[in-house]
Amino acid sequence: MIRLLRVELGRLLSRRLFRSVLIVGLLAVLAVDGLIAAKSSNNIAAAKARADVQFQQQYQQCVSSISTAPGGGPTQEDCNSMLPAAQLKSCLAAVAENNPNGPTAEDCRRTASFNPYFTDPRFHFADHAKDLLTSSTFLLMAVGLIVAASFVGAEWQAGTFASLLTWEPRRQRVMAAKLLAPVLAIAITGAVLMLILESGAALAAGTRGTLDLTTAHLMRQVAVMGARVLGLVALVTLIGGAIAVFTRHTVAVVGVVAGYLIAGEIVGGMASTWWHNHGLAAQLLAFIQGRFLYYVAPPRGVDPGTWRGERYLHAGWASVIVVVVAVTLVGVASATLSRRDVA
């Protein structure tokens, strides 16, 4: 079995499609890291100066549009209220009222120093580390599906499946090797690409941005999320290969998956709220993010003011569902292959 798997891996790695995907994936990851580094800047003073200029321009625009006519435009007082000093004064007045829910003096100082035109030009790794993973998940899933479907489908089309069976007649072994090879290759490739993506982003943050709040705890969370993403990508790759075993064609796999997405997820989701919140797409999101939040409308007769409609799909249950789907498809593929005549 190991020998067969090695052969299938060798064949997969020799394929032009896989090599192209590898190169394009690597270039895309490097491009994203490069873009992050290019857009990030440590020059906060310049960013603040730009924000101050914008603020002054906004204030001058306000002043120039002052009108004495009633209801005709802002008054001088309206424009002055934009100034930090005015905001501080107004805030401190509220502090003086000693309202327990009111602002503190510290709040006031923060408010007064806040410039709405200022955006931190630094790339915050802690804020984006997880987003980078989730945004690459669907791309990796699509790539895994296509690579696996093409790997198996092309073999049916070329007629080489029969040749291989005259060397290894145990069909289940052959199928297992053919499904495992793309799963392993995509999982390893995905892991390497994600590692490069995160490392590049961290490097960009360290040199041209900030690693503030990047704690060991955060890195553990990122690692767990990465493992979940890889697991999901591996399962989707397995599903793509399994469908190709019984459809015998790459395009047919894409058709089946696209058909499911349109009929099952989009139309099904529009027809049923329950399905929208519990369908495969929702389960996939829960699997990746750890949980998926959705809202349930209050039942008839329940006061909407007191109703708490937040519900969650959790990663554990979602993983069970995704694994069941994959195992069912592999089972169907296995049963079909063992009975089918191979021409």
User: Does the protein bind other proteins through residue 158 (CB under 8 A)?
Assistant: yes
From 77, 85, 167, 216, residue interacting with other proteins (rule: CB under 8 A)? 167
Amino acid at 193: L
- The residue type of 242 is A
The CA radius of gyration of the chain, in Å to the nearest whole number, is 28
List, in sequence order, every residue forming a beta bridge with 56; answer none if it has no partner. Answer: none
- What are φ and ψ of residue 169, in 5° steps? -75, -10
CA-to-CA dists, residue 248 to 150, 203, 284, angstroms: 10, 45, 26
> Rounded to whole angstroms, how far apart are CA atoms 39 and 196?
18
341 is an interface residue for other proteins by CB under 8 A: yes
Provide, rounded to whole angstroms, the least separation between the CB of residue 233 and other proteins: 26
Stretch of residues binding other proteins (CB under 8 A), selected from 1-9, 32-40, 220-228, 290-298: 1-9
Indicate whether 2 belongs to the interface with other proteins (CB under 8 A): no
Residue 193 token pair:
């690409």
Distance CA 57, CA 148 (A): 57
160 binds other proteins (CB under 8 A): yes
Q: Does residue 203 touch other proteins according to CB under 8 A?
A: no
Judged by CB under 8 A, the stretch of 45-53, 62-70, 152-160, 324-332 that binds other proteins is 152-160
**CB atoms closer than 10 angstroms to residue 292:** 21
Q: How far apart are CA 239 and CA 232, in angstroms?
A: 10
What does 150-188 look like in DSSP terms, one character per residue? HHHHHHHHHTHHHHHHTT---HHHHHHHHHHHHHHHHHH
Work out whether 3 is an interface residue with other proteins (CB under 8 A).
yes
- Candidate residues 100, 169, 301, 304; the one interacting with other proteins per rule CB under 8 A: 169
* Region from 12-20, 97-105, 184-192, 293-301 binding other proteins, contact rule CB under 8 A: 12-20
Closer CB to other proteins, residue 165 or residue 261?
165
How many residues appear in the chain?
343
The only residue of 98, 101, 166, 306 in contact with other proteins, by rule CB under 8 A = 166
Task: Check residue 20 for interaction with other proteins (CB under 8 A).
Answer: no
Per CB under 8 A, 10 contacts other proteins: yes
- The stretch near other proteins (CB under 8 A) out of 2-10, 54-62, 89-97, 236-244 is 2-10
**The one among 138, 168, 218, 248 contacting other proteins by CB under 8 A:** 168
The nearer residue to other proteins, 8 or 33, going by C-beta atoms, is: 8
Give me 93's structure tokens. Answer: 């007045």
In terms of CB distance, is 332 or 342 closer to other proteins? 342
46-71 core/surface letters (b: 16 or more CB in 10 A; e: else): ebeebeeeebeeeeeebeeeeeeeee
Partners of residue 313 on adjacent β-strands: 292
Q: Is 11 in the site for other proteins (CB under 8 A)?
A: yes
CB 165, min distance to other proteins, A: 6
Task: Give CA–CA dist 246/265, Å, rounded.
Answer: 23
Least distance in Å: CB of 3 to other proteins? Answer: 7
Which positions touch other proteins (CB under 8 A)? 3-4, 6-7, 10-11, 14-16, 158-160, 162-170, 339, 341-343
